Amino acid sequence: MLLTLCVFASCQSNEDEIERTAYLSIPDNHFETKLIEQGIDSDGIVNQQMLKSDAETVSILDLNLFDNFGEISNLTGIEGFVNLTLLSAANQKIETIDLSNNIKLDTLNMLGNYLTNIDLSNNTNLVFVDLQSNGFNSFNAISGLADMTNLKELDLSWNYLKEFNIHNESLEVLHISHNELKSINTNGAVNLRNIYMPLNKLETVDFSTNIALETLLIAGNKLQYIDLESNTSLTHLYISSNSLTSLDVSNNLELVDVRLDRNPDLTCIKIQNSQNPYIMKSDYQELNINCN
């Protein structure tokens, strides 16, 4: 009898071990439902688990597909999707996420969640990162940005950031509108081509090292002065609704579109006669080769 019990216990232990190593835990029913809808969870049953081998076949995971609008709050199990290159989990209820095992990721879309911090230190292959409309209130809450040597586009709009420093030489496009920014440092992002940061609280900025800059959208801030002398590649400048007292674009010979209306104390804009961009200005503003 004792031998039978031991054999049974041994078999049960082996079965438990096989299940532990063969399966991923998927505690969120909405997450598992999405996986079933897309034919990823092969048993087709919401049972809080799926085969690791199913997860390992997936390179693109878009959790926003199909008509099931149940919102995911827990992405436990994502660690088993080790071959993911794209993850999109927009407009869910996710507060935390661990992507440390998903080292092949190049595209991440977590728009419209409840994240207050995220560690991307292991995700050095990321090219596109969308974290807009979350709960970030400190740039230190987003770890690993400096290590992404392939990063091209970063979106942090609609958060609560008061300051932001970016030191990434590969970054070309930065969206950081609708925050509470009072300071920003882009000195370490020397290849930035496009910056979109309207509707913040910026009083001063320095883009002198961003000599590749082509588009600067910085309307709806509190700027009194901006030096664009080094930004000779600039083609689009949207700087309406600030507090500018002077503006010199005479060195920006590539300009094709300038919006500078609604700066109540800006009456004269310095520009060369040879320049002929489209300009949106207020009635009290004039263009001149000399502004006192």
Q: Strand pairing partners for 143?
A: 119
Contact call for residues 117 and 136 (beta carbons, < 8 A): yes
| pLDDT tier, 238 (very low <50, low <70, confident <90, very high otherwise) | very high
Mean pLDDT of 15-38: 85
Confidence class for position 65, pLDDT limits 50, 70, 90 = confident
Whether 164 and 187 have beta carbons less than 8 Å apart is answered as no
Percent of the chain with pLDDT over 90: 90
- Please give the residue that has the higher pLDDT: either 264 or 12: 264
Residue 191 has pLDDT above 90, yes or no: yes
Q: Determine the pLDDT at residue 29.
A: 95
pLDDT, tens only, 73-127 = 999 999 999 999 999 999 999 999 999 999 999 999 999 999 999 999 999 999 9
Residue 15 pLDDT exceeds 90: no
- Name the residue type at position 225: Y
Cβ neighbours of residue 172 closer than 8 Å, sequence gap 6 or more: 152, 153, 191, 192, 193, 194, 212
